[in-house]
Amino acid sequence: MEKAIKDFLKNVANTVLKLDILSYYHEHPYAMDTAEGLARWLNRRVEEVTRNLQELVDSGIVLIEGEGTAAVYSYSPEAGISEVVNKVIGSYRLTRDTVYSEVIQLEKKQEELRREYQTLLFNERGKTETILNSMEELVVVLNREGKVLLANERFLRHCPRAGAESTAGLMLEEFIGDESVVRAIRASLSEMGKDEESRELFLNGCYYQLHSVPVTGPDGKVIADKEGKPAATVTVFRDITREKEIERMREDFISMLTHDLKNPLGIILGSSTLVLDGKLGFLNEKQNRLLSNVVKSCGTMDRLINDFLTLSKLEAGMLSLCLEEVVIDNILRSVIELFNPQVRERNLTVSYRNDCEKVLVMADQVQLERVLANIFINAVNYNRDGGRIDLSLRDNGSTVIVEVADTGIGIPQDELPFIFEKFRRASSAKYMKGTGLGLTIVRELVSAMGGEIWVKSKEGQGSSFSFRLPKAAT
């Protein structure tokens, strides 16, 4: 019998659909129906049922009466096969019922897990909304298609659809209704991941700075779709109105410095110089000494004001540079010549090595002279008597590198990262007079001309300041 069952399963009931048909007839032994009717009972396609019925007819298990779609099928196994069919269908139904029972249990478990997940998701969404609503910034979360997934209350206050019952799922344009805001968000999203400055937007009397980032998972990795693109993005509107007001106050302060300090300082300097030159009569030694100190202090004050004005303009983006093709070799030689008296006074040796004499760089000639003069005079002032200053100009592909090295007092290693900050001076140079703005101005000017500056130093052994500038297009 076992062999007969195996042969039957192998040669006759060799598909699940055949077993379902036989199971149906086993439960309804006197049923007569068309292939279409059986297909409805079994919830299968008519073509599949017709093909499997025909194979059962060929095997002598099912009888057929009529032709085509009107053909009627009935259960009529040949003698000796009924017992085999009974055993096969009994085992199949037992297995099927067991599997169905397990499937039902799995479906119930899946439904329970789905409900738990929805509850957890709802709770987490509530936490997220609570956090977002407590933020000072305006926040909106979009999916890849540009539909709104989430927006905090501060954002909704600035949105025309804030009173709508449901905002999630709307396209950005429909959700906001303000074309200027939509353009700003789209622009911020397009610049996401680039080294671009954040977008600014004026909205409802306030200035905002927009910054967009992709949504990341708990591991810090970007949550991506099948194409590897961010599945969602977060755009944050940071209120910079106060910063704008402070910027305006700084601009006003710069104007005040220009007018209210430099003008009277010029009068003091001019009057003192006039008296010191003896235009108003003879001066005794003490008067001459005191007036000389006044003139010298006026010069120091004038340099301090100029440094502060330059730095403020650089930081505010108000210092306009005239970038042009410049022969940097000529400027270096003129700076060396300019400070020859100071070099001779300190008995210093200056060497100059140039690997790119005719190379042109894109720079503002006046400001480049200022950069080189500042670095070179530092190498003079912070050097030891009888020391060396080594200048070099070398080609570096698309850029030119200038290096000014000295054998002076050097800079402590722990102070190197801060040497270009405002009002920061190395502890080894405390005895030297200065404003603490020179190197900050140098860094800002080099950066404004598209370059980069860095320093290497060892305390007691000297310093090496280097910067690179882009070559002019040839």
- Range in 11-20, 126-135, 325-334, 377-386 the model is least confident about: 126-135
Q: Which residue has the higher pLDDT, 215 or 317?
A: 215
Mean pLDDT, residues 365-388 taken together: 91
Give me the count of residues in the chain.
474
Q: Are 6 and 25 in the same domain?
A: yes
Q: How far is CA 146 from the centre of its chain?
A: 19
- Residue 216's DSSP bridge partners are 222
CB count within 10 Å of CB 228 equals: 7
DSSP code for 77: P
Q: Are 338 and 462 in the same domain?
A: yes
- State pLDDT tens for residues 10-22: 777 778 888 888 8
Report yes or no on 259 lying in a domain: yes
Strand 388-396 relative to strand 349-354, pairing: parallel
pLDDT band at 464 (very low <50, low <70, confident <90, very high): very high
Using alpha carbons, select from 412, 471, 467, 424 the residue that is nearest to residue 443.
Answer: 467
Q: Which domain holds residue 142?
A: 135-239
Longest dimension (CA), the chain: 149
Is the separation of the CB atoms in 374 and 444 below 8 Å? no
Burial of 219 (0-12, 13-18, 19+ CB in 10 A): exposed
* pLDDT on residue 87: 75
Burial of 353 (0-12, 13-18, 19+ CB in 10 A): exposed
Prediction pTM value: 0.49
Q: Are 328 and 465 in the same domain?
A: yes
Last residue of a domain, one of 239, 271, 296: 239
Report yes or no on 126 lying in a domain: no
Q: Are 232 and 255 in the same domain?
A: no
Residue with tokens 């060799």: 14
- Residue 458's DSSP bridge partners are 462
CB count within 10 Å of CB 208 equals: 23
Number of structural domains, the chain?
A: 4
Element (H, E) at 350: strand 349-354
- State pLDDT tens for residues 382-407: 899 999 999 999 888 889 999 999 99
* pLDDT on residue 401: 92
Q: Are 349 and 405 in the same domain?
A: yes
Q: Are 260 and 333 in the same domain?
A: no
Q: Are 347 and 309 in the same domain?
A: no
CATH of the domain at 53: 1.10.10.10
- Cβ contacts of 154 within 8 Å, gap of 6 or more: 133, 135, 136, 137, 138, 139
- State pLDDT tens for residues 332-362: 999 999 899 999 999 999 999 988 767 888 9
Burial of 37 (0-12, 13-18, 19+ CB in 10 A): middle
Report yes or no on 114 lying in a domain: no
Is the separation of the CB atoms in 272 and 291 below 8 Å? yes
Residue with tokens 């019952």: 165
pLDDT band at 453 (very low <50, low <70, confident <90, very high): very high
Q: Are 331 and 433 in the same domain?
A: yes
Q: Are 312 and 347 in the same domain?
A: no
Cα 380 to Cα 210, 303, 446, distances in angstroms: 46, 18, 21
* pLDDT on residue 191: 82
Q: Are 442 and 400 in the same domain?
A: yes
Last residue of a domain, one of 239, 274, 296: 239
CA dist 19 and 12 (Å) reads: 9
* Cα angle, residue 135 at apex, residues 132 and 141 outer, rounded to 5°: 40
CA dist 306 and 258 (Å) reads: 9
